[in-house]
Structure 1
Amino acid sequence: MVQHTTPLWRRLQYRFDYLVSRSTTALIGWLTLACLSVVVPASVVLVRAGHQPPATLSGQLTAVWVSVGQTLKIGGAVGSPLYVLASVLLALIALLFVSTLVSLITAGINQRIMELRLGHSRLLETRHTVVLGWSDQVFPVTAELVAANSNQRRAVVAVLAPKDKVEMEQEIDARVPATGTTTIVCRNGCTTDPAVLTRVSPQTAKAVLVLPPGADDGDTHVVKTLLALNAVAAEPGDAIVVAAVHDAHNRVAAQLAAGPRGHVLAVDDIVARLLVQTARQPGLSLVYQELLNFAGDEFYTVDAPALTGRTFGEALLSLTTSSAVGLLRENGTVALNPNPGTEIAPGDRIVVIAKDDDTTVVAAAASGIDEEAIATAGPRAATAERLLLLGWNRRAPLIVQQLATYVSAGTTLDIVALGDHATMRGAQDVAVASQRLDVTLHSADTTDPRVLARLNVPSYDSVIVIGDAGRTPTAATVATQVAEADDRTLVTLLHLRSIEQASGKRISLTTEMTDDRNRLLAPAREGADFIVSGRLTSLLMAQISENPSLADVFDELFDAEGSELYLKPAADYVHPGSETTFATVVASARRRHECAVGYRLRAQAAAGPAYGVRINPDKQQQVRFTAEDWVIVLAES
């Protein structure tokens, strides 16, 4: 005979679940019996345990009935049978109506709470910032907006994305724990639906940021979101619209969709250019990190009526606590690093690097110049280089093109990757056409230490490591591809660090990553150069949203033509070994038609958090340069 091994409590639970799953009528009947089985015996106990229990049985039954009626809220009236029946009926009807009313109120409240949790309610704010879309970039964007709003008493950032509202809030709280005076509000919905966009009230916002999704059709999604923004309001508001696309070919369409007050960034072009510039000038990524976040010195445009009629060269030494780098003309055009003899016209604004937009003070700094300390740099002969590119992604062809633009004739580039061979050969053809860069392709796994050992990595003048997902299946999600690319980069960096330690020779290394959290895991020396594409885009978008005139500044700064930031030997500007003021460095750079904005000391290059970088120092500050230090300048070459 089979014995039951199921515990009694489990069998009782099963029977209860079965009863609950029955019809409503059966459920009411069972609940009524269960209630009476408890209330009636308890009422009997209460009556008999009272101070003066009734002496007769009828009196006790009447007392029990009264107790039961009061407990169950059905009156418990005493009288003729008809009177008792009528009172019970009225009590049941009242109970039914009250229960129904409570249920309706509870259901309405629950529905409203669910709507709020779903993020479908409309935002009633003005002069707030709207962030459209969800990706890893939302965290640095919100963090930078919080920093930018730290001097405001109350600020609001509204995030709209096709994601659960509660999940968004929890993730933002985890990644951006300190929001200060800024309130972050999340709403759920599709960003390409004009009706849904009204939930974050973009027509009353001061800025709207459209984040680029990581999918292959991400640029198309950005364009559709921008078109939806135009459809929200019949007339364009005064909100600044900042968007980002991956492919530069889609920038024109996105700019048309964004309208006259919109600014669109071509992310891949900017990242590729910064990778190449940093690979040729170690430490440049630290400079951009300092200039683009709101924690330190950054770009501003300021009025300086006291400088009207004077030359830009005079302005360079007239701002002791700020560094002049250009002019914003009255017609809206920007000129970075103009000729020192350029006259500052009425209505012009000065483009400066400063701690804040109200810290720029016009004063005389020319008295701090030591003419004897100024050095004259001789011309440097162009030399061929050996370069190494590890990995392949959609930005790799742009990197090859940029290298072909910057390098000297005879430079060689070895590419080691598991990328698409047809695309890799296309990039090779472009480099060959430039007649300055000789490209060799190697199909190999950069995470294999034997491959790296055969390359003799320390012999290269510069090494660039970019995200390479390897042979990831086409069905893999974008998040998976990004994670795998960064994972492979971390493994490659481990092997390079081992090679560096074994050889005793420092490798000039520039690394691209997608997720800023992975940068903290990177096995690299202190102060190493990292270009985190997602964070870089977020910083640029946040800067432009707070100061729209900076869009033209960044366009010129990241353009292949015009002036760029460089780290040049300090010995080219002042004689090393003796103390001199930074005003002397600025004066020396002015003679070369350059704007000196800071320096980097080799002795502090491994010490965080600045790693030797000093942006916008006081011009009266004394500093002793060595032959191994660098001056940070804005120059054409």
Structure 2
Amino acid sequence: MGQRRAPWGDRARYWFDSTLARGASAIVGWMALLCLAVVVPASAVVVWTDPDAPESLPDRLAAVWHLTGETLRLGGATGAPLRVTMSVLLALVALLYVSTLVGLITTALTERLTALRRGRSTVLEHGHVVVLGWSEQVFTVVSELVAANANQRRAAVAVLADRDKTAMEEALSTKVGPVGRTRLICRSGPTTDPAVLTLTSPATAGVVLVLPRDEPDADAEVVKTLLALRAALPGEGVPPPVVAAVRDDRYRLAASLAAGPGGIVLESDTVTARLIVQAARRPGLSLVHQELLDFAGDEFYLVTEPTLTGRPFGDALLSYPTSSVVGIVRGETPLLNPPPQTPLAEDDLLVVISRDDDTVWPADCADSVEKAAMASGPVTPARPERILLLGWNRRAPLMVDQLRRRARPGSAVDVVADGGEETVRGVSEADAHHGTDLRLTLYPGDVTSPETLRGLDVHSYDSVIVLGQDPAPGQPPDEPDNRTLVTLLLLRRLEEASGRELPVVTELVDDRNRALAPLGPGADVIISGKLIGLLMAQISQNRHLAAVFEELFSADGTGIRLRPAGDYVLPGCETTFATVVAAARQRGECAIGYRSHDDASTSPGYGVRINPPKTGRRRWTADDEVIVVGRD
């Protein structure tokens, strides 16, 4: 049997497709035939239905040709064949010129619009903030910069990352929300290319922020970006201040050298570990850090006060009714909580906490101090602590080191984590400091298993720290949060079964998971990326604050503490906050606020009040806490 012949329609379609595949000439030919097939019959109908049309057939055909030529812009001349041919040739030349010109203009506009969509045009701004890199921190940084620029007319933030410009704009619009007067500009390209960096005009920027990516090799890329920034800046002129962050302290020196003399480099892992340990030692401290680091509430300012020159620092503590003094900056060195008798020099800057820079105004508050309400007993002594560490990651050894620095004899840290080789080696290295007052013990187990947690006497510990594992290569950066949320859910069940609240401190990667965490109100949650983003935003507005924060969050320096209110005022007594400040001054501390025990479960502040008015009165209970800047 012979093969069945394909249908005529399929063969015609195949032949038509084959002719189109021959190129532009075939396409032009088909378009010409199509146009003639429509225009010629339509022109004939118009001519034949015209009452004034010529009577003879040749004249009517000439009229059809003339109308067809006008419609297709072919001239439509009649007469000798040579005349008609030249008319058509001239029309074709004109058509070719016009279509080519339109095509060139369209192509140029399309390329320009495509370049704009890709973010390849240069930013022509002055005094703007340049953010290099893309991670979860970018949303915190941009949000805080928008809040800081709320009262400025012309403020701009330029973000450069190796991502699609439209995708960046949509993500920032979704997570940051309205930006007010601040103009948000996104540019696309690798941050390690000096030619691409010039798109953000870093030479005219007010400050440049370099963010690490959420990947293992992020620190090396930060160093490379800083080197590219140095190459992109002109040799003359003053370079803009640079604030960068690295995760591993091994890269800090290289990043500092690449950033230049005026550059500031933060160690995100070290800062996160310090804040987690501080919150574990005193629940609620993360709420204080959050309040002080964002631009929504009270924050740090550096001010001068000539009227206090020559007077002791202790007098400054009661010299501002709406601001809290915590130290001085002498030259480039911050002196937080110096001895009260330290004289103030002429060039000293006072470090104050206030609602805004225009709320820092002096007035003597000594008359508001009620000495009869001040406590005179000894300070509550520190005791050995027992910490339960659920999980292990690259920051865990830093936390153990922080805990060891201030450990009292008899203190212990019990680690429950998988017994993998890396975990065992990490715990062994962290326990290499023999002769210390801290005992470190590893108990292999799965912290997402109910049997593992039920086998622990979790209520016997002073604090429980929940850590997520480091993400494996190829995993999303927030993958550790999934296991952390499971562990928190099991701990919540243990709380409900016993009716006793656990002092849990949790480390999360993604701030969006904070709302999912099954934690009690006011619990301590450390969002590592968000904290670093807040620090970078604060320092970008005043680079002198870098040394202040370094001292506040150091392991052995002066930091923020929560103390029992009974160490400062008599429990049950109603008195002013100025009395608390005076009592703290006698103990060599700077009081900056308090946490009310009755409001500890009430949002949004959960009892934390930073920088209350000195004349404000309240009744203090034995369960209240005073927030001070001081040493242990």
Please give the range of the TM-score, normalised by the shorter of the 2 chains. over 0.9
Q: 1:549 pairs with 521, 544, 552, which one?
A: 544
Distance 1:24 1:592, change over 3 A: same
- Describe the superposition over 1:177-202 as per-residue Cα deviations: whole angstroms up to 9, x where unpaired: 21111111112222222222111111
Question: What's 2:116 paired with?
Answer: 116
Distance 1:15 1:113, change over 3 A: farther
Deviation at 1:257, TM superposition (A): 1.6
Q: 2:431 pairs with 424, 429, 436, which one?
A: 429
Deviation at 1:224, TM superposition (A): 1.7
Q: 1:497 pairs with 492, 496, 521, which one?
A: 492
8 A Cα contact 2:276 2:399, kept in partner: yes
- Structure-2 separation of matches of 1:377 and 1:68: 109
**TM-score, normalised with respect to structure 1:** 0.94
Question: What's 1:193 paired with?
Answer: 193
Question: What's 1:87 paired with?
Answer: 87
Q: In structure 2, what residue type is equivalent to 1:393? A: N
8 A Cα contact 2:215 2:477, kept in partner: no
Deviation at 1:162, TM superposition (A): 1.5
Deviation at 1:456, TM superposition (A): 2.6
3-state SS in 1 of match to 2:352: strand
Distance 1:612 1:81, change over 3 A: same
Question: What's 1:300 paired with?
Answer: 301
Structure 1, unaligned runs of 5 or more: none
Question: What's 2:148 paired with?
Answer: 148
Question: What's 1:523 paired with?
Answer: 518
- Describe the superposition over 1:422-460 as per-residue Cα deviations: whole angstroms up to 9, x where unpaired: 433324423x52521212112221111111111132222
3-state SS in 1 of match to 2:357: coil
8 A Cα contact 1:204 1:237, kept in partner: no
Is 1:234 matched with 2:229?
no
- Output aligned runs, 1:255-334, within 5 Å: 255-329=256-330, 331-334=331-334
**TM-score, normalised with respect to structure 2:** 0.95
Q: In structure 2, what residue type is equivalent to 1:179? A: V
Deviation at 1:14, TM superposition (A): 7.7
Question: What's 1:159 paired with?
Answer: 159
Q: Which moved more, 1:355-364 or 1:190-199?
A: 190-199
Deviation at 1:5, TM superposition (A): 13
- Structure-2 separation of matches of 1:382 and 1:134: 43
Question: What's 1:71 paired with?
Answer: 71
- Describe the superposition over 1:459-486 as per-residue Cα deviations: whole angstroms up to 9, x where unpaired: 22210011115xx6x5x32xx2522201
Q: Which moved more, 1:334-343 or 1:38-47?
A: 38-47
3-state SS in 2 of match to 1:40: helix
8 A Cα contact 1:206 1:238, kept in partner: no
8 A Cα contact 1:417 1:468, kept in partner: no
- Structure-2 separation of matches of 1:207 and 1:279: 34
Deviation at 1:406, TM superposition (A): 2.2
- Describe the superposition over 1:59-107 as per-residue Cα deviations: whole angstroms up to 9, x where unpaired: 3322322221122111222333322221111011100011111111111
- Describe the superposition over 1:121-145 as per-residue Cα deviations: whole angstroms up to 9, x where unpaired: 2222110111111111111111111
Is 1:131 matched with 2:126?
no
Question: What's 2:219 paired with?
Answer: 219
3-state SS in 2 of match to 1:482: coil
- Structure-2 separation of matches of 1:381 and 1:319: 31
3-state SS in 2 of match to 1:535: helix
How many residues align? The count is 628
8 A Cα contact 1:230 1:236, kept in partner: no
8 A Cα contact 1:392 1:468, kept in partner: yes
- Describe the superposition over 1:380-421 as per-residue Cα deviations: whole angstroms up to 9, x where unpaired: 344223211011110011111111122221122211112523
8 A Cα contact 1:401 1:427, kept in partner: no
Deviation at 1:51, TM superposition (A): 5.3
Distance 1:492 1:236, change over 3 A: farther
Distance 1:454 1:349, change over 3 A: same
- Structure-2 separation of matches of 1:499 and 1:422: 27
Distance 1:362 1:11, change over 3 A: farther
- Describe the superposition over 1:300-335 as per-residue Cα deviations: whole angstroms up to 9, x where unpaired: 101111222222111100011110001011x22110
Deviation at 1:53, TM superposition (A): 4.2
Distance 1:400 1:427, change over 3 A: farther
8 A Cα contact 1:412 1:438, kept in partner: yes
Question: What's 1:175 paired with?
Answer: 175
- Structure-1 separation of matches of 2:572 and 2:173: 50
3-state SS in 1 of match to 2:358: coil
Distance 1:132 1:5, change over 3 A: farther
Structure 2, unaligned runs of 5 or more: none
Question: What's 2:612 paired with?
Answer: 617
3-state SS in 2 of match to 1:131: strand
Is 1:605 matched with 2:600?
yes
Distance 1:39 1:518, change over 3 A: same
- Structure-2 separation of matches of 1:327 and 1:208: 27
Q: In structure 2, what residue type is equivalent to 1:629? A: D
Deviation at 1:548, TM superposition (A): 0.7
Q: In structure 1, what residue type is equivalent to 2:305? A: A
Question: What's 2:209 paired with?
Answer: 209
- Output aligned runs, 1:438-517, within 5 Å: 438-469=439-470, 476-477=473-474, 480-517=475-512
Is 1:337 matched with 2:337?
yes
Q: 1:587 pairs with 572, 582, 602, which one?
A: 582
3-state SS in 1 of match to 2:338: coil
Question: What's 1:383 paired with?
Answer: 383
When the two chains are superposed, the root-mean-square deviation of aligned CA atoms in Å is 2.3
8 A Cα contact 2:380 2:567, kept in partner: no
Matched-pair identity in %:
54
Q: In structure 2, what residue type is equivalent to 1:625? A: W
Distance 1:461 1:15, change over 3 A: farther
Distance 1:18 1:365, change over 3 A: farther
8 A Cα contact 2:379 2:567, kept in partner: no
8 A Cα contact 1:458 1:503, kept in partner: no
